Structure 1
Amino acid sequence: MRRGAPLLSLVVLLALPACTSKPEEPGDVALTVFLDNDVTVAQKGSVEQQLRSMPSVTEASLETREQAYERQKADLKDQPDLLAALKPEYLPELLHATVSDPSIAEAVELVMAEADGVQDVALRIADVDPRPSRIGVIVRLTSSATDEQRAAVETAVRALPTAKSIEFEDRDAAYERLRKRCQGKGDLSTQLQPQMTRESWRFEMPLNGEGSGVGELMRLDGVDGVPLAPLAML
């Protein structure tokens, strides 16, 4: 069950590549499933089977703890502080997959996060060339966010100089949007439940890496995560 990724799980995610196709095209979404450190063989097999059965999910593959450690050593060779904290026994096993329909990628993520043996699930723009000029940003709030924290997040989002088409979406609206997108997508519409969704701020911004301010949003109290995604996912 989802409990939020620990520091080293986030290190794993941040080290993965992140570029995608042109914004006017649908754009693939990369999905990473972080397995519990104490996941059983049966749970692992069940999670992988469930992931492979999801609509529009392709290229599902397992990355062992040892494989993740070797990759991370290479990726973090220029970041000694992070590399020093990296221990193979702390790293989770990962399931990687591609969601070819970005409109339902968020629903796939939320459903998979509830599977037994899953620690967390994360989405990002897929590693496809050429890079888009703009991307979608989703700032999810925790269910326990206070009014003060909510106000601080809104202020920070609206202060971003390059953010466009800023909208707030409550949990009911999120569920209805995703439920409609999942119609005709096998069992996904019935697997998705209202309590899985989160309130969020959603907007688009240029993908140029120049002072976007997204990193600061991730550190705000009351923020549950900040996925970067193709515009078609918003």
Structure 2
Amino acid sequence: MRMFLTGALLVVAAATLTACTTSDDFDTKLKPQITVLFTDNATAEQKSAVETKVRALPGVDSVRFESSDEAQAHAQDQLKDDPSLAAAVAGVPLPPSLRFTTKDLTSYDAIRKSTFANDVKQMDGVTDVVIQCATLDECKKTLTPPPTR
């Protein structure tokens, strides 16, 4: 049960921390991110191998590592308007990660449609790859529950 709760909170946290954008404002700081989540015991060499793979992708703009502590601080900042969710996430250790953005929506879509996520998930030290929705409409479709019958 604890594993399910932890997984559910991570999904909620990842969804909450995503910044949906529209093609018109893609060039603002709200660029969608692709996030590679590492195991707690991922080595520096494993993280470096992932970073090398990311930096080799065409159109990559910014790349940054985020420690577990930085992820928790980021989550708390993003959830400051929802104290109950912030409190729930505060008790869950968030994994270290590598977050990156692309220079434009074309590059982002190319990475999203490629085998990148599946390839990186197979690398040592990686637990998952989270690819944000790229537009507000896409986010709404993804995060809106289907109608009940």
TM-score by length of 2: 0.69
Amino acid at match of 1:103: A
Is the 2:18–2:33 Cα contact (8 Å) retained in structure 1? no
**Structure ID, larger Rg:** 1
Offset, 1:213: 7.4
The separation in 2 between residues aligned to 1:88 and 1:109, in whole angstroms, is: 28
- 8 Å Cα contact 1:8/1:91 also seen in 2: no
Q: Is residue 2:46 matched to residue 1:66?
A: no
**Higher normalized contact order (CA 8 Å, seq sep 6+, divided by chain length):** 2
* TM-fit CA distance, 1:135: 4.1
Q: Which has the higher helix share?
A: 2
1:28-82 residue CA offsets vs partner (Å, 9 max, x unmatched): 7521111112212221122112211223323111111111111211222232332
1:82-118 Cα distance to aligned partner (Å, 9 max, x none) = 2222247711112111244113423222222222111
More strand by share: 1
| Equivalent position to 1:39, from 18, 39, 42 | 42
Identity %: 26
- What is the deviation of 1:6? 2.3
State how far apart, in whole Å, the 2-side matches of 1:89 and 1:80 are: 15
The 5-angstrom pairing of residues 67-216 of structure 1 reads 67-87=70-90, 90-99=93-102, 100=104, 101=107, 102-107=109-114, 108-126=116-134, 135-136=137-138, 214-216=143-145
SS at match of 2:99: strand
Structure 1: stretches of 5+ with no match in the other structure? 127-131, 137-206, 218-234
Amino acid at match of 2:60: V
CA contact (8 A) 1:8 1:90 kept: no
